[in-house]
Structure 1
Amino acid sequence: MDVSIVIPLLNEEESLPELVSWITKVMTENQLSYEIILVDDGSTDLSWQVIKKLQREDEHVKGIKFQRNYGKSAALNEGFRSAQGDVVITMDADLQDSPDEIPEMRSMILKDGYDLVSGWKKKRYDNTLTKNVPSKFFNAATRSVSGISLHDFNCGLKAYRKKVVKSIEVYGEMHRYIPVLAKWAGFPRITEKVVEHRPRKYGVTKFGISRFVNGFLDLASITFVGKYGKRPMHFFGLWGTLCFFLGFASSVYLVVAKFLNPAISLTNRPAFFIALTLMVIGTQLFLAGFLGELISRSSANRNQYLVEEKLGL
Structure 2
Amino acid sequence: MNDQPLQISVLIPLYNEDESLPELHDWIVRVMEAHDFSYEILFMDDGSKDQSWEVIRALSLKNPHVRGIRFTRNYGKTAALQTGFQAVRGKVVITMDADLQDSPDEIPELYRMITEEKYDLVSGWKQKRYDPLTKTLPTKVYNAATRYISDVYLHDFNCGLKAYRSEVVKNITIYGEMHRYIPVIAKWNGFSRIGEKVVKHQARKYGTTKFGLERFMYGLLDLLSIAFVNKFGRRPMHFFGSLGTLMFFFGSLLTVWLIILKVYNIYTHQPYRNVTDNPLFFIALTVIIVGSQLFLGGFLGELLVKQSIHATGDYLIADEVGSRPEVLVRKG
Aligned residue type for 1:27: M
Name the structure 2 match of 1:64.
Answer: 69
Q: Which residue, 46, 50, 59 being the options, matches 1:54?
A: 59
In structure 2, the partner of 1:273 is 282
1:283 aligns with 2:265: no
Other-structure match for 1:134: 138
Q: Which structure's CA Rg is the greater one? A: 2
Q: Bigger relative contact order, structure 1 or 2, given CA contacts below 8 A and separation 6+? A: 2
Q: What stretches of structure 1 of length at least 5 have no aligned partner? A: 303-313
Amino acid across the alignment from 1:6: L
Q: Distance in 1 between matches of 2:272 and 2:200?
A: 72
Q: Name the structure 1 match of 2:259.
A: 255
What is the CA distance between 1:43 and its match in structure 2?
A: 0.3
Measure, in 2, the Cα distance between the counterparts of 1:264 and 1:27: 87
**How high is the TM-score relative to the length of structure 1?**
0.93
Quick one: percent identity of the two aligned structures?
A: 60
Aligned AA for 1:76? L
**Per-residue deviation, 1:228:** 1.8
SS at match of 1:86: strand
Mapped pair 1:114 → 2:119: yes
Instruction: After TM superposition, give the deviation of residue 268 of structure 1 in Å.
Output: 4.2
Match of 2:223 in 1: 219
Amino acid at match of 2:185: L
Q: Is 1:201 aligned with 2:205?
A: yes
Deviation at 1:301, TM superposition (A): 3.9
For residues 5-48 of structure 1, the C-alpha deviation after alignment (integer angstroms, 9 at most, x for no partner) is 10000000000000011111111111111110000000000000
Letter in 2 for 1:256: I
1:297 to 297, 300, 306: 306
**Pairing 1:5–2:10 present:** yes
Instruction: Please give the alpha-carbon distance, in whole angstroms, between the structure 2 residues aligned to 1:113 and 1:270.
Output: 63
Task: State the match for 1:98 in structure 2.
Answer: 103
Amino acid at match of 2:219: G
Per the TM alignment, residue 135 of structure 1 is displaced from its structure 2 partner at its CA by 1.5
Give the letter aligned to residue 118 of structure 1: S
5+ residue gaps, structure 2, are 1-5, 312-332
> Residues of 2 paired with 1:232 and 1:256: CA distance?
36
Distance in 1, Cα, partners of 2:225 & 2:195 = 23
One-letter amino acid matched to 1:166:
K
The equivalent of 1:78 in structure 2 is 83
Q: Read off the aligned partner of 2:279 and give its amino acid letter.
A: P
1:127 Cα deviation after fit: 3.1
Cross-structure match for 2:325: none
Residue 150 of structure 1 aligns to a residue whose secondary structure is coil
Q: Distance in 1 between matches of 2:37 and 2:31?
A: 9
Higher mean C-alpha displacement, 38-47 vs 28-37: 28-37
Question: 1:224: Cα distance to partner?
Answer: 1.7
Q: Residue 237 of structure 1: which of 235, 241, 249 is its match?
A: 241
Aligned AA (1:120): W
2:153 counterpart of 1:146: no
Alignment coverage as a number of residue pairs:
301
Match of 2:190 in 1: 186
RMSD: 1.4
Structure 1 pair 270–133 and aligned structure 2 pair: CA distance change class (3 A):
farther
Aligned to 2:323: none
What does residue 308 of structure 1 align with? none
Partner SS state of residue 18, structure 2 = coil
User: For 1:269 and 1:148, how far apart are their aligned partners in 2?
Assistant: 50
Report the Cα offset of residue 269 of structure 1.
3.7
Deviation at 1:244, TM superposition (A): 1.1
3-state secondary structure, aligned to 1:31: coil
Distance 1:227 1:261, change over 3 A: same
Note the alpha carbon deviations across 1:97-156, whole angstroms, 9 max, x for none.
Answer: 011111111111111121111111111101322x12222221111111111001111111
| Residues in 1 aligned to 2:183 and 2:50: alpha-carbon distance in whole angstroms | 32
How big is each residue's C-alpha offset from its partner over 1:263-285, in whole Å with a ceiling of 9 and x where there is no partner? 34344443332222221221111
State the alpha-carbon separation in 1 of the partners of residues 166 and 219 from structure 2.
Answer: 25
| 1:32-89 alpha-carbon deviations (Å, 9 max, x no partner) | 1111000000000000000000010001111000011000000001110111111101
Instruction: Please give the alpha-carbon distance, in whole angstroms, between the structure 2 residues aligned to 1:85 and 1:58.
Output: 17
